[in-house]
Structure 1
Amino acid sequence: MSYPNIRPFQYQYLKAPRDFQIIEHRPMCLEIGAGKGKHACLFAAANPDRQLIAIERTRDKFQAMQKLHQSLAVQNILPIHADAIPWVVHALYPQQIEQLLILYPNPEPHNPTQRWLNMPFFEYLLSRVKSGATITLASNIEDYIHEAEQQLKQVWHLPYQKETIAADSARTHFEVKYLQRGELCQQLIITKPEGYQTRFDQVLPCCGQDQ
């Protein structure tokens, strides 16, 4: 097996997020950077048979998501206030995620190495995604999407489809704003093929290992 030509992610050095709690070991969907929770609530309502983990690092946005979640009394969302990287390392098992969503992430204009598909962590994240599952990456920045395409072809060797997001789409507050301004919003629907391997496929979450 030829692994991605990228340095291995050093998961073993990450401490658990503050107030970390172990979650159930069963299939989940995951939204990273869930913001104020608009898409998370829409997704949960449309998929009542699926459990969605909605993780947000920024306190104000997380509190807004919590408030929306409680007001709608949506049962199949688990809001998490944490940085996604250490949380994933400590919480998730291999092939646990049946759908992954990263909608309008910070484009990191001054530090492109921190973009999701440029980070060694992305290989670890792929190990948590089930074979045959999809990863949705959306952005209003054309160069961001183009760079992600190149990484998918040259580093990750993953199949994908590129889509233009409809002008009336309203999944997130950012999406509404960008589309109202007439910006081009696009998404990559990435599939993890059967048999795809990473260097972390046998690594249990840190909570499941001797510390």
Structure 2
Amino acid sequence: MIMPIRQFQAQRMQAPRNFQPVENTPVCVEIGAGKGKHALLFSGQHPELKLIAVERTREKFVAMQKQHGLEGQQNLTPVHADALPWVVHALYPAQVQQLFILYPNPEPHNPAQRWLNMPFFEFLLSRLQVNGTVTLASNIPEYIEEAEQQLKEVWKLPYEKQIIASDSARTHFEIKYLERGELCQQLVICKPESYSTRFDSFQPLNGQNAEPADVQ
């Protein structure tokens, strides 16, 4: 089933608590970074790239922050925030080189909240550089199949479907799923030069619409 996509209301997004602006320089971004296993690996393997790792759950963020303090990668910035308002307030058009969404919540009871079914995905694409990539990984075949269908019918984007090697260990979830013998797959989605969105000129809100200080 093709999910209809309404327009994302970016201007209504309130700033995350303790929001810190981001410089308008090329970055990689991981959404839902968890305890930071992939973020730490990636930043260690690619010292020439800057990675911002966003995690909403405080417990997981603290674990990532602690491990980052031990390893000390200068090119990694952990961020504790909900990804949607953070992206709207922080990122510039065509700023992101690579975007990682690894083993997101499959939202079995709310398909509209899956990443490629969300209006927000159009905004996310506007932040991606030409020839930039989105890597979406899952251990659920139906999730990957639906995402493929959305890419073909709604977003009209080129992509490569890959089977993840059985010895891959990018995230704690990935290790667990592969040890169980589950099929893990990823879509590497590319933004072509001719691609456009309705948000290509939308500048980051940079802390406008900030929440009151006493709001949790």
> 1:96-130: CA deviations, max 9, x gaps?
00100000000011111000000000000000000
TM-score by length of 2: 0.94
Determine helix, strand or coil for the equivalent of 2:29: strand
1:77 — aligned with what? 76
Q: Which stretches in structure 2 are left out of the alignment for 5+ residues?
A: 211-216
Mapped partners of 1:44, 1:161: distance in 2: 23
SS at match of 1:100: strand
Structure 1: stretches of 5+ with no match in the other structure: none
Q: Which has the higher contact order (CA 8 A, sep 6+)?
A: 2
Q: TM-score with structure 1 length normalisation?
A: 0.96
Cα distance change, pair 48–110 in 1 and its aligned pair in 2 (3 A): same
Which residue of structure 2 lines up, in the alignment, with residue 183 of structure 1? 182
Deviation string, structure 1 residues 130-174 (Cα, Å, up to 9, x no partner) = 010111000000000000000000000000010100000000000
Question: Counterpart in 1 of 2:59?
Answer: 60
Q: Distance in 1 between matches of 2:125 and 2:74?
A: 27
SS state of the match for residue 18, structure 2?
coil
How far does the alpha carbon of each residue in 1:56-105 deviate from its partner, in whole angstroms, 9 at most, with x for none? 00011000000110110111100000000000000000000010000000
Listed one character per residue, the Cα deviations across residues 12-43 of structure 1 (whole Å, up to 9, x for unaligned) are 11100011011111000000000000000110
**Letter aligned with residue 126 of structure 1:** L
Measured at CA, do residues 100 and 47 of structure 1 come closer, stay the same or move farther in structure 2, by a change above 3 Å?
Answer: same
By how many angstroms is 1:185 displaced? 0.2
The equivalent of 2:213 in structure 1 is: none
Aligned residues: 208
- The answer for the alignment partner of 1:27 in structure 2 is 26
Quote the Cα distance in structure 2 between the aligned partners of 1:29 and 1:62. 18
Per the alignment, residue 44 of structure 1 pairs with 43
Tell me the equivalent position of 2:166.
167
Specify the alignment match of 2:6 in structure 1: 7
Q: 1:209 deviation in Å?
A: 7.5
Q: Which runs of 4+ in 1 moved over 3 A?
A: 208-211
Alignment of 1:77-116 (within 5 A): 77-116=76-115
